[in-house]
């Protein structure tokens, strides 16, 4: 009996993830990787218009985390263009603002929160933005399962969850293992761009800027960066930080 024949198994809707604790990739590098929590979403619903647009456009513009590697050329319908993965795109404010300025670059936005993806999808459709695609899933798992090695021109992580309590630091995405994984997915010369407004997280990153030997830390700013590094607009989370007089720290690495 397959899942479609079992009445106890609910068929997932468009762009939906199964609830509960997901399978996590087993890495054998001996490095530290963020631990995943349960995938549950108790807040945030789509309007009727958002739901209709999501159902109509997600099959073309979006995917859900799987073990199927992404064929970038087929998905974007063009060949020979650099590709960037943005992990934790949120509502996609900066994603949608930057994409038209780098129209020759393929941008894959990765996010768990469906309402955030719905807002980005709406901006993409309304703005006629052709170079954005979306994946719903955990960023580390998407990199590990769906992105081929040495295939990316860039990875962006803007204002990741700081997990401020000490017992939750193991969930922070910036870890030695994550940096190692990102380095493996970046092509030589590829760029990792991280931004945070959380002082404790900045200290955490400061301690890890040189932990991955294949990533040369270029600091901030880096005028010679081969990719767009100006985030263009204030994101929702950045705006909250600025109202609290938080200092924004940005980091750039190059894959060597």
pLDDT one-digit tens code per residue, 98-133:
999 999 999 999 999 999 999 999 999 999 999 999
**What is the number of structural domains in the chain?**
1
- Supply the pLDDT for residue 234: 57
- Supply the pLDDT for residue 22: 67
Q: Is residue 72 a part of any domain in this protein?
A: no
Range of the domain at 207: 78-239+249-255
Q: Is residue 64 a part of any domain in this protein?
A: no
Mean pLDDT for 236-242 is 53
Residue 7 has pLDDT above 50, yes or no: no
Residue with tokens 């580390």: 140
Backbone angles phi, psi at 241, to 5 degrees: -65, -40
- Supply the pLDDT for residue 243: 54
DSSP H or E stretch at residue 239: helix 236-243
Among 72, 64, 45, CA closest to 137:
64
- Supply the pLDDT for residue 205: 98
Q: Is residue 17 a part of any domain in this protein?
A: no
- Supply the pLDDT for residue 8: 39
206 in active site:
no
Q: Is residue 233 a part of any domain in this protein?
A: yes
Residue 224 has pLDDT above 70, yes or no: yes
Mean pLDDT for 84-111 is 96
- Supply the pLDDT for residue 45: 83
| CA distances from residue 80 to 6, 131, 134 in whole angstroms, order as listed | 44, 13, 20
Residue 36 has pLDDT above 80, yes or no: no
CB 193 within 8 A of CB 229: yes
Q: Is residue 47 a part of any domain in this protein?
A: no
Q: Is residue 124 a part of any domain in this protein?
A: yes
CATH code of residue 184 = 3.40.50.150
CB 88 within 8 A of CB 158: yes
- Supply the pLDDT for residue 3: 41
Which residue positions form the known binding site for S-adenosyl-L-methionine? 86, 111, 138, 161
Catalytic residue among 5, 73, 161, 206: 161
Strand partners for 86 = 109, 156
Distance of CA 62 to the CA centre of its chain: 13
Which residue positions form the known binding site? 86, 111, 138, 161, 165, 197, 235-238
Computed over every residue of the chain, the mean pLDDT equals: 89
Q: Is residue 153 a part of any domain in this protein?
A: yes
- Residue 16: CB partners within 8 Å, gap ≥ 6? 64, 114
Q: Which pTM does this prediction carry?
A: 0.90
Mean pLDDT for 190-199 is 96
Which residue positions form the known binding site for substrate? 165, 197, 235-238
Mean pLDDT for 175-182 is 98
Q: Is residue 218 a part of any domain in this protein?
A: yes
């Amino acid at each position: 009996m397959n899942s479609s024949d079992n009445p106890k198994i609910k068929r997932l809707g468009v762009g939906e993830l199964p609830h509960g604790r997901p399978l996590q990739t087993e890495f054998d590098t001996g490095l530290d990787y963020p631990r995943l929590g349960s995938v549950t979403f108790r807040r945030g619903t789509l309007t009727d218009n958002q739901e209709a647009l999501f159902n109509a456009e997600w099959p073309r513009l979006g995917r859900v985390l799987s073990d199927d590697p992404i064929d970038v050329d087929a998905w974007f319908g063009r060949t020979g263009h650099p590709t960037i993965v943005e992990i934790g795109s949120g509502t996609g404010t900066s994603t949608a603002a930057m994409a038209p300025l780098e129209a020759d670059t393929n941008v894959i936005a990765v996010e768990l929160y469906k309402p955030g993806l719905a807002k980005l999808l709406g901006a993409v459709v309304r703005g006629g933005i052709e170079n954005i695609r979306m994946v719903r899933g955990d960023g580390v798992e998407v990199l590990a399962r769906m992105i081929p090695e040495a295939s990316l021109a860039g990875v962006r992580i803007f204002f990741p969850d700081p997990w401020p309590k000490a017992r939750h630091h193991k969930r922070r995405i910036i870890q030695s293992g994550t940096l190692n994984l990102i380095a493996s997915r970046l092509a030589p010369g590829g760029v990792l761009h991280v931004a945070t407004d959380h002082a404790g997280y900045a200290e955490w990153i400061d301690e890890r800027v040189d932990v991955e030997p294949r990533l040369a830390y270029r600091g901030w700013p880096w005028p010679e960066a081969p990719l767009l590094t100006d985030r263009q607009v204030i994101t929702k989370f950045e705006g909250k930080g600025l109202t609290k007089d938080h200092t924004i720290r940005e980091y750039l690495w190059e894959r060597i």
